[in-house]
Chains A and B, each alone.
Chain A
Amino acid sequence: AQTVTQSQPEMSVQEAETVTLSCTYDTSESNYYLFWYKQPPSRQMILVIRQEAYKQQNATENRFSVNFQKAAKSFSLKISDSQLGDTAMYFCALNNYQLIWGAGTKLIIKP
């Protein structure tokens, strides 16, 4: 069975700080995709960043970057220079024709 685990139910940091959200997963597939999605309060789910498992280079999108460790099955998200608008639930997801989701991490950015 494929699983995704997010071990941090909630995190809070000061604005402008860097924060790292953890995600581990389990799959027997050799090729797959990993995603981080953001769900702001009462707003819809949007993609933050994606990583193809066959690519060794870690994906980056502006202030967002991942640390993808395939052997360890770890996929953490780093947010640099955090902003108030980053406050949201963050979900890690594994793609296998359907998305397998973690339970989410509630991130609060404090002014």
Chain B
Amino acid sequence: DTGVSQDPRHKITKRGQNVTFRCDPISEHNRLYWYRQTLGQGPEFLTYFQNEAQLEKSRLLSDRFSAERPKGSFSTLEIQRTEQGDSAMYLCASSLTSDNEQFFGPGTRLTVL
């Protein structure tokens, strides 16, 4: 394992459906982050974990979004009742500590029709 992986890479869904994304961080990294990025913009912070604890969640994040990291390893991000405005690239990143470089995965591109 040499990097952060995300699955799926692309997801097309209909409005109102639920979707779940998975992120596998670099194995020794304690911190895991989720970001959302729309075209031509910088990433927007969604939430982050230290081990299995979710330490911060963006105020911008609606209740339809939930994330877990049950054993402090991989993480899932679920979006319930998707809306067209949820269409974006969802990025996962991991780091050893809060001061270290964050390593990014390739992202999951979500399209809500």
A45 to B41, CA, bound (A): 13
Contact (Cβ within 8 A) B106 A44: yes
* Residue on B nearest A101 in the bound complex, by CB: B42
Chain B residues whose CB sits within 8 angstroms of the CB of A16 once the complex forms = none
Is the CB–CB distance between B33 and A98 below 8 Å?
Answer: yes
Are the C-beta atoms of B99 and A104 separated by less than 8 Å?
no
Q: How many residues of B contact A (CB 8 A)?
A: 22
Give per-residue flags for A85-99: 1 if the beta carbon is below 8 A from chain B beta carbons, else 0: 000000101010111
Q: Are A45 and B104 in contact (CB under 8 A)?
A: yes
In the bound complex, how far is the Cα of B42 from the Cα of A91, in angstroms?
A: 7
Q: Which of B93, B99, B106 has the most CB of A within 10 A?
A: B99
Give chain B residues whose Cβ lies under 8 Å from the Cβ of A103. Answer: 41-42
Q: Is the CB of B40 within 8 A of A104?
A: yes
In whole angstroms, what is the CA distance A102 to B43 when docked? 9
- B48, A44: Cβ atoms under 8 Å? no
CA distance A104 to B42 in the complex (A): 6
Looking at chain A's contact residues, is the secondary structure mostly helix, strand, loop, or mixed?
Answer: strand
Interface string of B26-70 (1 = CB under 8 A from A): 000000010100001111110010000001100000000000000
Contact of A99 among B40, B41, B45, B55 (CB under 8 A): B45
Query: Across the interface, do A95 and B99 meet the contact criterion of CB distance under 8 Å?
Result: yes
CB of B101 within 8 A of CB of A101, answer: no
A45 touches B91 (CB 8 A): yes
Determine the residue in chain B with the shortest Cβ distance to A100: B45
Chain B residues within an 8 Å CB radius of A75: none
Find out whether the CB atom of A35 lies under 8 angstroms from the CB atom of B104.
Answer: no
Inter-chain contacts of B33 with A (CB < 8 A) = 98-99
Q: Which residues of A lie under 8 Å from residue B84 when comparing CB positions?
A: none
**Interface of B toward A, CB cutoff 8 Å:** 33, 35, 40-45, 48, 55-56, 91, 93, 98-99, 101-107
Taking beta carbons and an 8 Å cutoff, which residues of A are in contact with B? 33, 35, 37, 43-47, 50, 91, 93, 95, 97-104
A-B pairs with beta carbons under 8 Å apart, 11 shown: A43-B106, A44-B107, A45-B43, A45-B93, A45-B104, A91-B42, A97-B55, A99-B102, A102-B42, A104-B40, A104-B42
